[in-house]
Amino acid sequence: MTDDDPFARRERVVSRGLWYEEFRTDVVYAHSPGRTVTEADNVLFTTLTMNPQALHLDAAWSAGTEFGERLVNSMLTLSTVVGLSVAQLTQGTLVANLGLTDIAFPQPVRIGDTLLAETAVTGKRPSRSRPGEGIVSLLHRGVNQHGDVVVTAARTTLVRMRPAAEPGGDGRGADEQETR
């Protein structure tokens, strides 16, 4: 590299999710951008997951239902809404998903709908069995382009605490650090 190289000797910022200490219970994390669900998404997801439900695959049959058309696979809806949160919350900091509970689909998603997602942190605590990691409880909500809630789900995650090498980190987590 030469002295006139704009990439030389500059601080490097890498996108990542939040360390345990950065999760806040007093905010709503709005995830952007949203995701418009296409027919190809729905057919691919439905067939990849071995779900032969005609409501997702058969336009003629679905036309005779109360919905009048095919609907997006609800597991695709859930997966997309959780996925929309990853870049902002857990990219590179998640150790594991520990569980999903209280999943509800109050409104159907139709092909061509745009899914938007937001997340509230409902609780957090340092892990008792895994030093340097903490348990964060999340409540995800997905809405369509009209603002209709189409999915809600509670998710429990295991995330890394800020490493000692990171500015402000000692690997113990804010809840375990001494007050000075």
Yes or no: say if 116 and 146 are a contact pair by the CB < 8 Å rule. Answer: no
- What pLDDT was estimated at residue 12? 83
| Ordered strands of the 28-36 beta sheet | 28-36, 114-126, 133-143, 149-160, 94-104
Domains of the chain: 20-160 (3.10.129.10)
Strand partners, 17: none
Judge whether residue 177 has pLDDT over 60: no
Question: What confidence tier does 175 reach under pLDDT thresholds 50, 70, 90?
Answer: very low
Q: Given this model, what pLDDT does residue 178 score?
A: 32
Of 139 and 172, the one with more pLDDT: 139
Tens digits of residue pLDDT in 94-131: 999 999 999 999 999 999 999 999 999 999 999 999 99
CB crowding 124-156: b at 16 or more within 10 Å, else e: bebbeeeebbbbbbbbbbbbbeeeeebbbbebb
Residue 176 has what pLDDT? 44
pLDDT digits (tens, 9 = 90+) for 78-93: 999 999 999 999 999 9
Q: What would the pLDDT profile of 17-56 be if each residue is shown by its tens digit?
A: 999 999 999 999 999 999 999 999 999 999 999 999 999 9
pLDDT at residue 172 tops 90: no
Please give the torsion angle defined by the CA atoms of residues 88, 91, 96 and 97, in that order, rounded to the nearest 10 degrees.
30
DSSP character at residue 3: T
What pLDDT, on the 0 to 100 scale, is given for residue 171?
52
Q: Let me know the angle formed at the C-alpha of 36 by 99 and 53, rounded to the nearest 5 degrees.
A: 65
pLDDT at 167: 66
Closest by CA to 144, choosing from 33, 29, 35, is 35
What confidence score (pLDDT) does residue 120 get?
Answer: 98
Model pLDDT, residue 85 = 98
Does residue 157 have a pLDDT over 60? yes
Across 154-164, average pLDDT: 95
Nearest CA among 59, 78, 56 for reference residue 68: 59
Q: What is the largest CA-CA distance in the chain?
A: 69
* SS3 (DSSP) at 123: strand
Mean pLDDT (whole number) for 2-9: 79
